[in-house]
Amino acid sequence: MRDMKSFTSTSLRKAIHDNPNESRKDWMLKIFTDAGMKNKNNIDFQLWQQHNHPILLDSNYLMQQKLDYIHQNPVKSGIVENEKDYIYSSARDYCGIPGLIEIDFIE
């Protein structure tokens, strides 16, 4: 879990930073940096919560349920109308639109 958090945090941070079309780039990076500065366990940046409550994903149903939940977060937050419209979401890949980060599909 720790390695996954580290990898995705670094990848997402780079994707946000390097995207010239992201209008909220400064705002997002400031939020992640501020969160990192508030937590003594970080060097300078925090994307993930420090604690975790692992859930055993031992069926395709559970994996799909969690994936759907993650994809719906930007929609429920009012950032986008459709999950595929959120540029940092793997939902794009599942809709046939290339995403920013390479993913392995759950089938």
Question: Structural domain boundaries of the chain?
Answer: 1-51, 55-107
Give the Cα separation of 22 and 92 in Å (integer): 16
| Overall residue count recorded for the chain in this entry | 107
9 vs 103 pLDDT, higher one: 103
Q: What is the mean pLDDT of residues 60-68?
A: 92
What integer is the mean pLDDT of 70-83?
A: 94
Mean pLDDT of the chain: 82
In this predicted structure, what is the pLDDT of residue 29? Answer: 83
pTM of the model: 0.52
Q: Sorting pLDDT into bands at 50, 70 and 90, what band is 36? A: confident
Mean pLDDT of 14-25: 85
Whole-number pLDDT of residue 82: 95
